Amino acid sequence: MAAAVGGGTTVVGATGHQALEVAEAIGGLLETVFAAVERARAAVTALLGSGPAPATTDLTRLRRGFQKELGGLVVGLGFVAAPGLLTDVPAWLEWWQLRPDGGVQPLLLDLDPATSAYSDYTHWDWYALPRSSGRREISGPYVDYLCTDEYSLTLAAPVHSPDGTFAGVSAADVYLRHFEAVAVPALRALGRPAFLVNPRGRVVASTTAARLAGDLVRNLDGLDVHACGEIPLRLVTLPG
């Protein structure tokens, strides 16, 4: 028996149940990261609905909560404001990240459009995709030149003002090496070449040299494809 899933075919057979279990387990792992993103989103939404247009000083109320979300897979977390949202600056990231020694530090960027070092974050997938789709998204893997210079994934969700206007994104960073340390052993246990792919065809983790992390896959026809729960990823297995 087969059913169409995300542009490919899910085949229910001897390995189908096991692959589905692995897909759902990986989805559950990333749901814990999205739960942190959702708590950050809810805190920002409450702030936006509590009074007049906010300034950067108002966002300081969110810092303690953001910092408490760091740990486990989450190495960075915060709110990225839509340009023009805040009254005192043109753009802003209220972003906190773990240091190698386990401490916590803010991300400090030049966000003045008048300077040559201006960091325009609006074109990055982790910002542009949730803005366009209105849904939570997974971006990467990519080299995170803004934050850590690490190969990373970013899980993000759109934030809206009380009137429904897009206000920015809440997001969390995960180092790809940390995610692979958990996901790759689970994929290997399937006994067949397998990889995870996001909705734009970017491979996120893999057990086959034919599909390396970061590669683009345009066609999943004829392959075994399993949804990772509600997470925007698919698990794909190849013939053994």
Give the dihedral sign, CA 112/116/121/123: positive
22 inside domain: yes
- Angstrom CA distances, 22 to 19, 29, 219, stand at 5, 11, 22
* Domain limit, last residue, from 177, 203, 219: 177
42 inside domain: no
* Domain limit, last residue, from 177, 206, 221: 177
Q: What pTM value is reported for the model?
A: 0.89
- What local confidence, expressed as pLDDT, does residue 18 receive? 93
- What local confidence, expressed as pLDDT, does residue 14 receive? 37
- Angstrom CA distances, 231 to 28, 62, 107, 136, 218, stand at 8, 26, 27, 9, 20
Confidence of residue 65 (pLDDT cuts 50, 70, 90): very high
192 inside domain: yes
Instruction: Assign residue 139 the CATH number of its domain.
Output: 3.30.450.20
Better pLDDT: 144 or 9 = 144
- What local confidence, expressed as pLDDT, does residue 239 receive? 86
Give yes or no for a contact between 192 and 206, defined as CB atoms under 8 angstroms apart. no
Q: How many structural domains does the chain have? A: 2
pLDDT above 50: residue 74: yes
Range of the domain at 195: 2-29+183-237
Q: What is the pLDDT of residues 84-115, one digit of tens each?
A: 999 999 999 999 999 989 999 998 876 766 66
Return d(Cα 49, Cα 220) in angstroms, integer: 43
- What local confidence, expressed as pLDDT, does residue 149 receive? 76
135 inside domain: yes
Q: What is the pLDDT of residues 131-186, one digit of tens each?
A: 999 999 999 999 877 776 789 999 999 999 999 999 999 999 999 999 999 999 99
- Tokens representing residue 96 in the block: 């906190």
On whether both 173 and 187 belong to a single domain, the answer is no
